[in-house]
Structure 1
């Protein structure tokens, strides 16, 4: 579910177009706004950032646009990596339109809470609220839709969520309102978007491949399955990357 099995970037983009588009938007906006600092990009970031003062003045689009903007390279990479890891399974399970609706709703919920509960002068950017909304959907599945997620993946979700929740309150510079209420937004919309959802299956992606016919492999029983330890190594590697990004985030 969280171990990528796609054979190429092209295949990933074909199977998960919404997640791919969101990551491309993240990287493109970072390139234009932060790296190249084009006049248009600087103005775009100023126009799209979450700013409680300007929202109070009626610029309500700022409750949505911050979802696509980030505060530098590490912030962009971290959120994009989290989206690539946890987004594809939900995109397949919910479908493109429900997925993007849930993603935007969670991000909106986090930004609305930031506006209502945060200081009058407060500026924020980032997809973290929307991504925590994905965790909200997963946690809802763990609690109330156990048939949609197996035990090992449920454990991974819970552990990563707990680590993220702890980091939310101990790491400086975090928009706590966005994280908490983005998660709640995802949890609340989960019953609606999970209607008629099926468990994630990499085999379902094969329908979109070039080979749609059923093929018989006479040596299929001789092939070794992926060792269970490999999944454990992948999990702990991801945790190590999370910690590394957290430390680098304090430096840059």
Structure 2
């Protein structure tokens, strides 16, 4: 599910949204670092809470596609290449875009309200990528019909490790990571209606790999998922709102 064996052509054909997002990452990175006008693009696009307070609301969106260093760019893009394809296939293009952008924007909104006006400038796709992790977290716990046990355990370990590293490493937007994950977990229940488990497209698999994790989509066919997952999603939304409210109130205390 998370192993990438396809070539560039098949990846681009089967996962066009992820390909476009990574292309935008690369183009903006090259522009702000090498091309004329790059410094202006970075200045006008970086996340900056005081700018948002003054009405520059595009700063809630533009940081999602900007990266400060080559390492930053490669790490986030590689994470998207590894973990994004199953969700793009399962959800479809429109729903995947909604999940990705909404998670990143809500992460930046949380940074604005909790971080305060003196919070340093920030940029990067981490909030949106943690939204993908948050979506998998929800699926692994409450939609076991969509993911096999091995991949479920893998994504939970990676998710927990990512949260831990958020607090260990310096120069990380903690709010974006935490609230991006919460946003992803809150949004995904709204998008799972009619979704089927991930399968590798025929043009990517010529023969079965004996080491490939196999999944029987009929394994949990007797289980039904209805309003319960939406109720759980509401819990994540309430948690998101309460924590943001507490952070907002703390600015005035």
* TM-score category of the 2 structures, normalised to the smaller one: 0.7 to 0.9
Q: Provide the rounded CA distance (Å) in 2 between the counterparts of 1:175 and 1:227.
A: 36
- Is 1:4 the counterpart of 2:4 in the alignment? yes
Q: Provide the rounded CA distance (Å) in 1 between the counterparts of 2:55 and 2:40.
A: 18
Describe the SS at the equivalent of 2:145. helix
CA 1:85 to 1:58, structure 2 compared with 1: closer, same or farther past 3 Å?
same
Which residue of the other structure, out of 88, 91, 94, is the alignment partner of 2:88? 91
Which residue of the other structure, out of 179, 187, 190, is the alignment partner of 2:188? 190
Determine the structure 1 residue equivalent to 2:173: 175
Q: Deviations over 1:115-165 (max 9, x none)?
A: 000031221000000000001110100111010000000011011111110
Q: Deviations over 1:163-193 (max 9, x none)?
A: 1100001100000000000001100001111
Where do 1:1-252 residues align within 5 Å? Answer: 1-6=1-6, 8-34=7-33, 36=34, 38-121=35-118, 122-202=120-200, 205-206=201-202, 209=203, 225-226=210-211
Q: Provide the rounded CA distance (Å) in 2 between the counterparts of 1:227 and 1:52.
A: 46
Describe the SS at the equivalent of 1:114. helix
Q: Provide the rounded CA distance (Å) in 1 between the counterparts of 2:195 and 2:209.
A: 31
Write out the 4+ residue segments of structure 1 that deviate beyond 4 Å after TM superposition: none
Q: Which runs of 5+ in 2 are unaligned?
A: 214-253
Q: Provide the rounded CA distance (Å) in 2 between the counterparts of 1:200 and 1:55.
A: 39
CA 1:93 to 1:45, structure 2 compared with 1: closer, same or farther past 3 Å?
same
Q: Which runs of 5+ in 1 are unaligned?
A: 211-216, 229-252
Determine the structure 1 residue equivalent to 2:242: none
Q: Provide the rounded CA distance (Å) in 2 between the counterparts of 1:91 and 1:224.
A: 23
CA 1:224 to 1:123, structure 2 compared with 1: closer, same or farther past 3 Å?
closer
Q: Provide the rounded CA distance (Å) in 1 between the counterparts of 2:182 and 2:8.
A: 32
- TM-score normalised by the chain length of structure 1: 0.80
Q: Provide the rounded CA distance (Å) in 2 between the counterparts of 1:3 and 1:70.
A: 25
- Structure number with the higher helix fraction is 1
Q: How far is the alpha carbon of 1:39 from its aligned partner?
A: 3.0
Q: How many residues align?
A: 212
